[in-house]
């Protein structure tokens, strides 16, 4: 019951198709409106591929739960594995009104998450580019901000650095800690001291990322149109 088979080449019709599928399975669900962002991002071919992958991960269920991610062998070595998986279930990333964590995500949510990793497009104007950049950074910000209070506190930053370094078992925790503290001090010099004691807000976060061209870096090549054929 691949989505793409049901409605080939019509990504906009996706929620509808999906809804049909769910209705058949007896799991009613109101699909969230697919944003123009999403429809821009992914082509039907890609949806097909992603859907295959989704089914593979979910073992032919309609939704993915956290445990399903354990079956990806390569992910095991990823130091920030927890954060990545977490991001998939973070309702803030799923464009839902509510806050908190979802227990399971359906294919549409999966696509929504994936669409954060789409590449930049040639014909984007300044405003679009800015929105594009902010979207991506927001996603990252949510990954850092694990307690959903809109601020990255020192403790949260430390956790991030610790996780980054967690691939090295013989490393003292204090190194991670002092690096995070150093980074926080540096952030203070960027955003002004007041914020830092409260935590880094999204605006400060934007400033901190100024040096990195996130819009040209945060993408997965797979989400580019032409390569799809090779990556089954």
Partner 1 sequence: MGAAALRALPWALLLLGPLLPGQVLQANPMLTSEGQPAPLPGGDVPGFTAAPPAAPEVIHPLKEQPANGSGEGHAKPRKAFPVIGIDYTHVRIPFEISLWILLACLMKLGFHVIPSVSSIVPESCLLIVVGLLVGGLIKGVGEKPPILKSDIFFLFLLPPIILDAGYFLPLRPFTENLGTILIFAVVGTLWNAFFLGGLMYAVCQLGGPGLNHIGLLANLLFGSIISAVDPVAVLAVFEEIHINELLHILVFGESLLNDAVTVVLYHLFEEFASFEQVTILDIILGFLSFFVVSLGGVLVGVIYGVIAAFTSRFTSHIRVIEPLFVFLYSYMAYLSAELFHLSGIMALIAAGVVMRPYVEANISHKSHTTIKYFLKMWSSVSETLIFIFLGVSTVAGHHYWNWTFVISTLFFCLIARVLGVLVLTWFINKFRIVKLTPKDQFIIAYGGLRGAIAFSLGYLLDYHHFGMRDMFLTAIITVIFFTVFVQGMTIRPLVDLLAVKKKQETKRSINEEIHTQFLDHLLTGIEDICGHYGHHHWKDKLNRFNKKYVKKCLIAGERSKEPQLIAFYHKMEMKQAIELVESGGIGKIPSAVSTVSIQNINPQTLPLERVLPALSKDKEEEIRKILRNNLQKTRQRLRSYNRHTLVADPYEEAWNQMLLRRQKARQLEQKVLGELQTPPALADPSVPPDPLAYEPKEDSENLPIITIDPASPQSPESVDLMSEEPKGCGGLPPSPEEDEEGLVMRVKEPSSPGTDDVFTPGNSDSPSNQRMLRCLSDPGPRPEPEEGEPFIPKGQ
Q: Identify which range of 9-17, 22-30, 75-83, 125-133 contacts partner 1 by CB under 8 A.
A: 75-83
Binds partner 1 by CB under 8 A, chosen from 29, 81, 134, 138? 81
Q: Does 67 bind partner 1 (CB under 8 A)?
A: no
Candidate list 36, 67, 170, 229; residue touching partner 1; CB under 8 A: 170
Using CB under 8 A as the binding rule, whether residue 189 contacts partner 1 is answered as yes
Work out which of 92, 133, 151, 158 binds partner 1, going by CB under 8 A: 158
Choosing from 179, 201, 202, 206, the residue that interacts with partner 1 (CB under 8 A) is: 179
CA-CA distance, 169 to 165, in Å (whole number)? 9
CA distance 15 to 37: 14
Q: Which CB sits closer to partner 1, 19 or 82?
A: 82
Could you say which of 1, 57, 62, 206 contacts partner 1 (CB under 8 A)? 57
Q: Between 20 and 188, name the residue whose CB sits nearer to partner 1.
A: 188
Contact predicate 20/84, CB 8 Å = no
Within residues 18-37, the interface with partner 1 by CB under 8 A covers none
User: Which one of residues 72, 95, 134, 202 is an interface residue with partner 1 (CB under 8 A)?
Assistant: 72
């Amino acid at each position: 019951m691949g989505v793409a088979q049901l409605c080939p080449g019509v990504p906009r019709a996706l929620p509808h198709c999906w809804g049909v599928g769910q209705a058949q399975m007896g799991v009613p669900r109101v699909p969230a409106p697919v944003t123009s962002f999403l429809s821009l991002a992914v082509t039907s071919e890609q949806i097909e591929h992603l859907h295959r992958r989704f089914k593979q991960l979910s073992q032919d269920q309609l939704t993915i739960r956290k445990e399903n991610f354990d079956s990806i062998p390569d992910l095991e070595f990823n130091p920030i594995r927890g954060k990545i998986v977490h991001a998939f279930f973070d309702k803030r990333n799923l464009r839902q009104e509510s806050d908190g964590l979802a227990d399971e995500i359906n294919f549409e949510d999966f696509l929504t998450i994936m669409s954060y990793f789409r590449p930049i497009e040639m014909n984007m104007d300044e405003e679009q580019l800015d929105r594009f950049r902010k979207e991506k950074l927001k996603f990252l910000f949510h990954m850092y901000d694990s307690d959903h209070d809109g601020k990255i506190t020192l403790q949260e930053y430390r956790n991030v650095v610790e996780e980054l370094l967690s691939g090295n078992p013989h490393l003292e925790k204090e190194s991670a800690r002092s690096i995070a503290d150093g980074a926080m001090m540096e952030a203070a010099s960027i955003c002004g001291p007041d914020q830092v004691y409260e935590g880094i807000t999204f605006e400060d976060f934007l400033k901190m990322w100024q040096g990195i061209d996130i819009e040209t870096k945060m993408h997965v090549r797979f989400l580019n149109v032409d390569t799809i054929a090779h990556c089954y």
